[in-house]
C-alpha cells in the first residue's frame, strides 16, 4: 500500500510534474506491452489475461479504499453512467483494433494511428474548448503522419486493406479519446483512484462473456503464472498513470504520447534486429520523434477560461479532485 500513499501526496503540478507523469506513462506503456506479449506467449489466453489485469486492479483499489489507504467514491449512478460509456468505449476500441489487425496489415494500422492527432486537434476545438494548433504544431502533426507513412513504405510493402474495419477503429478510437478526456474534466471524483476503479471494474463483466465465447484454455506453468501476476501489477500502474496523464494534457497531446510509445518500441526493435528496418525507415521514425518533441499543446480558448459555467481543466492545481485523500 506504499504506492497509493506516495501518489496521493502529489497534489499540485507544474511543467516538471506534467513531464514526470508523461514519462512514467510512457515507461509503463512500453513495459506493459512487453509483459503482455510474454503473458500471451506462455498462457495463450489474451481475454483471460486482460480480465485478470482489470479484476486485480479493481479488487486492489476497493481493498485499499476499505482499509482507508486511499479515497474512492461510493457506487452511484452519477459515476456508473459515464464510466459505463468509458468501459464500452474501451472494449469497442480493443475489439476494433483486433479486427483491424485481422483484415489490415500492421503498417496500415501504424499510418492511421499516426493520423489520429490530426482529427483529435479539431475535436479538441469543437468539444473540449481548446484552440486550434498553431503553425508550428500543425507542421509537427503533419510530420508525424508523413514520418509514419515514410516508415511503412520504406520498410515493407505498404498495402491498404480492410478499409471498413480501419475506418470503424478510427472512429471508435477518436470517440474513446475525446469522451475519456471529457469524463476526466466533468465527472467529479474524490481521487484519481475512483477513475481507476470504475474503468477496471465495469469492463470485467463483458470480458467474462467474451472469454466463455472464445473458449480459451490457459496453458499453466510457473513462468506463465509469474508473468501473469507481474502483468496485473503493471496493469494497475498503467491504469493510474494513464488517467493521471490524461487529466494533465489535451486529448491530442495524449494521442501523440501514445504514438511516441509505439514509435520508440519500433525504433528499439529496429536497433536490436538487423533485418527489421532500413536506414530510411529509421530516419522516418526519427522524424516522428523530433516532431512529437516540438509539438506544442493548444491552450484553452479565452471564452472557456472566462466562463464559470464551462468545464476548465483543474489538473495543474488539483490532480486528484477537490477532496484530499
DSSP letter assigned to residue 250: -
**In the predicted structure, residue 297 carries a pLDDT above the cut 70:** yes
Torsions phi, psi for 32 (to 5 deg) = -65, -35
Q: Is residue 216 left, alpha or beta, with left meaning phi > 0 and alpha meaning psi from -120 to 50? A: beta
**Mean per-residue pLDDT, 49-58:** 94
**In the predicted structure, residue 147 carries a pLDDT above the cut 90:** no
CB 25 within 8 A of CB 244: yes
**In the predicted structure, residue 86 carries a pLDDT above the cut 70:** yes
Q: Cα-atom radius of gyration of the chain, to the nearest Å?
A: 20
**In the predicted structure, residue 302 carries a pLDDT above the cut 50:** yes
- pLDDT tens by residue, 180-208: 999 999 999 999 999 999 999 999 988 88
- The percentage of residues in the chain with a pLDDT greater than 90, rounded to a whole number, is 42
For position 47, what pLDDT does the model report?
Answer: 85
Quote the CA–CA distance of 273 and 158 in Å, as a whole number: 20
Torsions phi, psi for 75 (to 5 deg) = -60, 130
**In the predicted structure, residue 282 carries a pLDDT above the cut 80:** no
For position 214, what pLDDT does the model report?
Answer: 74
Quote the CA–CA distance of 79 and 6 in Å, as a whole number: 25
| Residue in the block written with cell 483494433 | 97
Q: With bands split at pLDDT 50, 70 and 90, how would you rate the model's confidence at 307?
A: low
Cell of 259: 504514438
**Mean per-residue pLDDT, 48-55:** 93
Amino acid at each position: 500500500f506504499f504506492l497509493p500513499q506516495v501518489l496521493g501526496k502529489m497534489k499540485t503540478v507544474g511543467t516538471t510534474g506534467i513531464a514526470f507523469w508523461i514519462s512514467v506513462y510512457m515507461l509503463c506503456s512500453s513495459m506493459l506491452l512487453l509483459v503482455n506479449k510474454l503473458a500471451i506467449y506462455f498462457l495463450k489466453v489474451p481475454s483471460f489475461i486482460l480480465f485478470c489485469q482489470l479484476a486485480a486492479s479493481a479488487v486492489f483499489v476497493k481493498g485499499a479504499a476499505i482499509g482507508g489507504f486511499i479515497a474512492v467514491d461510493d457506487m452511484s449512478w452519477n459515476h456508473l453512467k459515464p464510466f459505463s460509456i468509458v468501459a464500452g468505449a474501451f472494449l469497442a476500441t480493443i475489439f476494433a483494433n483486433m479486427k483491424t489487425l485481422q483484415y489490415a496489415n500492421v503498417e496500415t494500422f501504424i499510418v492511421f494511428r499516426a493520423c489520429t492527432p490530426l482529427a483529435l486537434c479539431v475535436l479538441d476545438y469543437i468539444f473540449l474548448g481548446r484552440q486550434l494548433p498553431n503553425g508550428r504544431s500543425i507542421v509537427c502533426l503533419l510530420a508525424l503522419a508523413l514520418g509514419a507513412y515514410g516508415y511503412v513504405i520504406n520498410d515493407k510493402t505498404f498495402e491498404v486493406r480492410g478499409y471498413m474495419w480501419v475506418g470503424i477503429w478510427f472512429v471508435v478510437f477518436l470517440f474513446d479519446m475525446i469522451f475519456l478526456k471529457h469524463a476526466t474534466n466533468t465527472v467529479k471524483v474524490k481521487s484519481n483512484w475512483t477513475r481507476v476503479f470504475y474503468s477496471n471494474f465495469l469492463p470485467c463483466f463483458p470480458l467474462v462473456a467474451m472469454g466463455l465465447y472464445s473458449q480459451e484454455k490457459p496453458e499453466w506453468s510457473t513462468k506463465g503464472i509469474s508473468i501473469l501476476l507481474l502483468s496485473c501489477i503493471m496493469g494497475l500502474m498503467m491504469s493510474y498513470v494513464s488517467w493521471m496523464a490524461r487529466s494533465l494534457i489535451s486529448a491530442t497531446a495524449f494521442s501523440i504520447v501514445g504514438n511516441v510509445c509505439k514509435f520508440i518500441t519500433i525504433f528499439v526493435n529496429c536497433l536490436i534486429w538487423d533485418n527489421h528496418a532500413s536506414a530510411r525507415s529509421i530516419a522516418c521514425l526519427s522524424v516522428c520523434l523530433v516532431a512529437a518533441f516540438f509539438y506544442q499543446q493548444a491552450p484553452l480558448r479565452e471564452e472557456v477560461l472566462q466562463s464559470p459555467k464551462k468545464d476548465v481543466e483543474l489538473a495543474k492545481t488539483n490532480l486528484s479532485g477537490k477532496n484530499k485523500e
